[in-house]
Structure 1
Amino acid sequence: MTCYSLSKGSTPLLISMPHIGQKIPETIADLMTEEALLIKDTDWYIDKLYEFADEIGASIIKPDTSRYVIDLNRGIDGINLYPGADSTELCPSSTFNRTSIYLDKKSVSKEEVDKRIAEYWQPYHDQITNTLADIKAEFGFAIILDAHSILSTVPRFFEGQLPDFNWGTANGASCSTDVINSIKKNRFFSLFGCME
C-alpha cells in the first residue's frame, strides 16, 4: 500500500507537499475529537498553487495521510523544528489553536508513533531520498522545494502576520547562494516574498 503519490518530472526540481494529505485511517479517526476531524491545519490548495509545476517539468510528491496522523515535516528524532519555540510533535496531540486532537486528551504512545513512522513517514522519506538520487544521477544536482501553506496569523508559532510568500532557506544554510540570488531577482518575489 502506497501512502503517497509521485509524479516524475524532466528537470532537477522535486516539490514535496508534506501537509496536503487529508486521509485519516478509521482506527485513528475513532480516537479523535470532532474538531480534529475537520483537519483545519492542512496545507490547503497547495496543489492548486503549484498547478504550473507539471508544465515546468518538476517532480511532485504528495502524501495521502493527514499531518494529524503523522507530520512528515518533523524528524523522527523528536527534535523541535523551532528550537526554543512552541511546536507540534511528530504525531501531534493538539491543533495549531491548542485544542486536543484525541478524545482522551493524551499523546500518542511510543509504540503507535513507531508504527506510524514505519507505515507513513519512512516510505515518504525513502521515496524523496530515492527520487533525489535519481535526479542527481541524471543532472548532477537536485533542488527540493518543500511547499507549504498556512493561515496568515498563527500566534502559537509566529508573532504578527506572515508574509504572503516566504522562501525559507534556514538562514541561507539549506541552498546555494546562486539559487537564493536567482529567486531574489524574480519580480514576483520582490513584490510579495520574504527570504528567511
Structure 2
Amino acid sequence: MTPVSVTQGTGPIILGVPHAGTFVPDDVAVKLNDRGRKLADTDWHIDRLYNGLIEQVTTVKANFHRYVIDANRDPTGTSLYPGQNTTGLVPLTDFEGVDIWDTPPNEAEVEQRRQAFHAPYHAALTAEISRVRASHGVAILYDCHSIRSSIAFLFEGTLPDFNIGTDNGTTCAPQTEAAVADICAAAEGYSCVLNGRFRGGWTTRHYAAPASGVQSIQMELAQSTYLKDEAAPWIYDAVKAARLRGHLASILSALADLTPTFGGTQ
C-alpha cells in the first residue's frame, strides 16, 4: 500500500483528503486494542463523496489511517486547539477519549511513522500546490473532512452540517470565504457555521499564503449528512449523498470561478 494517492487535474483546485484511509500496517495493528482496531474515527467515504464533483480537480489522499499517524497534525506534535480536547499526531485515544492502544508507540516509532507516512503525504501535497500555482498563478487547497455530529469529548451539543474553517479569515481571501459560506447558508435543510469548533487544521493553516497565491479552506461535514447512521458499518447513503453533492459541487465550482479575480487563469 502506497502511503498517498495523487490524481492530477489541470484546474486550480486541490482536494486534500487526509483521513479517509484505512490502511494500518500489521506491526501497528497488533499494538492497537480491540477498540482501536475498529477505526471508528475515519472520515468514512469522504473520498467517494467528493469524487467527480467538478472536472480537472487534483486530489491528494492519505491511504493510511489517522491512528497510524495523523496527516492533519503538526509533525512537531504541537496542539491545534490548545486548552481543548483533541487528538494528537499519533492519537492515544479515540474521539470519545478512550484508549485505543494495548502498546502505545514510543518516540522512535512515532518518528518512523512520520517519515514513512506523514512526510510522503505532505511532500505530495507540496508538489501539487507548486504545480497548480505554476500553471494558474493561484492554487486553492480545499481540505475535505467529516466527523460524527455528536461527540461529547470534543464538542457540546450537535455539530452543524457544514463547518467551514479559515482560521478566522487568515487562510484565504475574504471573497473565497464568503463564496463558500454563502452557498452553505443558502443550502435548504442544512445548518452551517464559519470558524466554529473546527476553524481549520494544520494542513489548512500550514499551506495558507494568500498573498503568494495559495489559499486554503477546510470543510468539516457532519457525517449525518451522507451516512445512513453514524455508527458501524458506516454505510454510505446514496440519496443523502446525492443531495449533499449538489451543494459541494456548487462550492467547488464557485471557487474555480474565483481564480481569475486573484490574478490567476483557468
TM bin (shorter chain)? over 0.9
* Residue in 2 that maps onto 1:139: 136
Superposed CA deviations along residues 90-138 of structure 1, whole A, max 9, x for unmatched, are 011111112211114xx42110011000000001001111110000100
The offset of 1:58, in angstroms, is 1.2
Superposed CA deviations along residues 163-189 of structure 1, whole A, max 9, x for unmatched, are 111111111111111211222332x44
> Structure 1 residues 182 and 93, CA, compared in 2 at 3 Å: closer, same or farther?
same
In structure 1, C-alpha distance between the alignment counterparts of 2:27 and 2:118, rounded to whole Å = 18
* Residue in 2 that maps onto 1:17: 17
The offset of 1:161, in angstroms, is 0.9
In structure 2, C-alpha distance between the alignment counterparts of 1:136 and 1:51, rounded to whole Å = 22
* Residue in 2 that maps onto 1:124: 121
In structure 1, C-alpha distance between the alignment counterparts of 2:164 and 2:9, rounded to whole Å = 22
Deviating runs (4+, > 6 A) in structure 1? none
* Residue in 1 that maps onto 2:58: 59
* Residue in 2 that maps onto 1:83: 82
CA RMSD of aligned residues (A): 1.4
Match of 2:182 among 168, 182, 185: 185
The offset of 1:194, in angstroms, is 2.0
* Residue in 1 that maps onto 2:108: 111
Q: TM-score, normalised by structure 1?
A: 0.93
* Residue in 1 that maps onto 2:261: none
Moved more, 154-163 or 18-27: 154-163
Identity %: 34
Q: TM-score, normalised by structure 2?
A: 0.69
In structure 2, C-alpha distance between the alignment counterparts of 1:13 and 1:26, rounded to whole Å = 35
Does the Cα contact within 8 Å between 2:46 and 2:146 map onto a contact in 1?
yes
Structure 2: 5+ residue stretches without partners: 196-266
The offset of 1:2, in angstroms, is 2.8
Count, aligned residues:
192
In structure 2, C-alpha distance between the alignment counterparts of 1:185 and 1:44, rounded to whole Å = 26
> Structure 1 residues 102 and 189, CA, compared in 2 at 3 Å: closer, same or farther?
same
Does the Cα contact within 8 Å between 2:4 and 2:124 map onto a contact in 1?
no
